[in-house]
Amino acid sequence: MSSDQAARLRSMAQGQRPEAPLFAARVVAITSGKGGVGKTNVVAGLALSLAQQGQRVVVMDADFGLANLDILLGLSPKYTLEHVLRGEKVIEEILLEGPMGIRIIPASSGIQELTRLDTMSELRLVQGLQRVAETADWLLIDTAAGIHDSVLKLLMAAQEVVLVTTPEPTSLVDAYAMVKVLHLREATKPLWLLINNGQNIDEAQETIEQLQAATDRFLGKQLKVLGMIPNDPHILQAVRQQRGVVDLFPRSPAALAFQALARQLLGQVSLQPDGFASFWRQLASDEPQ
């Protein structure tokens, strides 16, 4: 590792900007307390809906244990983030062009967790993400489910967090656990709640009220509410055809809900001049968030 590279990483961790200008991309992490809640479908639906509205979207598949965003959209990556971390490729060489112009940084199942990257690998990741973010309006991060250290590192670094849950009791319990961990680490972290696979508005509202009552009583925290993605058979049809439901069935109930979700985030997640700089500073830092 050269002395220049080492100095650059140290400056990142100390909060100093590099010489290259930074683009103020919104950085949003989408996560869940448990697997099986349809999180990756939510990421795809949101990315496509933002692209429909003229936004430049990059999606980073950070689910290193079960990377499947590319499969969901019918893409076949030749190279993945693993090749970047090993120094064999740069991020621009592994980017996949998806439907509606979204770009995807594909992960590889089973690679090192972010918390265990060596200095050189971390530098490659941070610098690559910076370059990509300079040409994007949104950087969406599809995290793994659960509260592992590698997931929390990404969530703490992101500007905003979208927590996906379903009305099932086990999903609600795990969602509360995620809220608690995030709150204890950073009480002011913006946290959005999205109910996926809801049968109807009343069920979704009851789910929101149950979780909000628990977080308000035990944590004193108010959640932002994104609403509900309905239980829609078009989603399963789209998955089977390896297409996004927003792309394949743009007038379906689920697609309309994703489009409304994108409009809501566009209206309420503001551009921050230091947004992406803050993200990569925290990602590069070894200090606990």
203 lies in a domain? yes
Residue numbers of the domain that contains 248:
3-16+25-284
Task: Quickly tell me which residue has 């932002």 as its tokens.
Answer: 224
pLDDT value of residue 264? 95
Residue 139 belongs to a domain with what CATH number? 3.40.50.300
Query: pTM of this prediction?
Result: 0.87
Q: State the total domains in the chain.
A: 1
pLDDT of 211-221, one tens digit each?
999 999 999 99
- Give per-residue pLDDT as tens, 123-162: 788 788 888 888 899 999 999 888 888 788 889 888 899 9
Q: Does any domain span residue 253?
A: yes
**Alpha helices, H only, 113-270:** 119-133, 149-157, 169-185, 201-218, 233-240, 245-248, 253-268
- 289 in a domain, yes or no? no
DSSP state for residue 167 in the 8-state scheme: S
Task: Kindly list the strands in the beta sheet with 57-62, ordered across the sheet, starting from the edge strand earlier in the chain.
Answer: 96-97, 103-105, 57-62, 138-143, 26-32, 160-165, 191-198, 224-230
Q: What is the pLDDT of residue 288?
A: 45
- Domain membership of residue 120 (yes or no) is yes
Q: What share of the chain in percent tops pLDDT 70?
A: 82
Residue 171 token pair: 């999903």
The answer to whether position 99 is within a domain reads: yes
Bin 197: left if φ > 0, else alpha if -120 < ψ < 50, else beta: left
- Using 50, 70 and 90 to split pLDDT, how confident is the model at 18? very low
128 located within any domain: yes
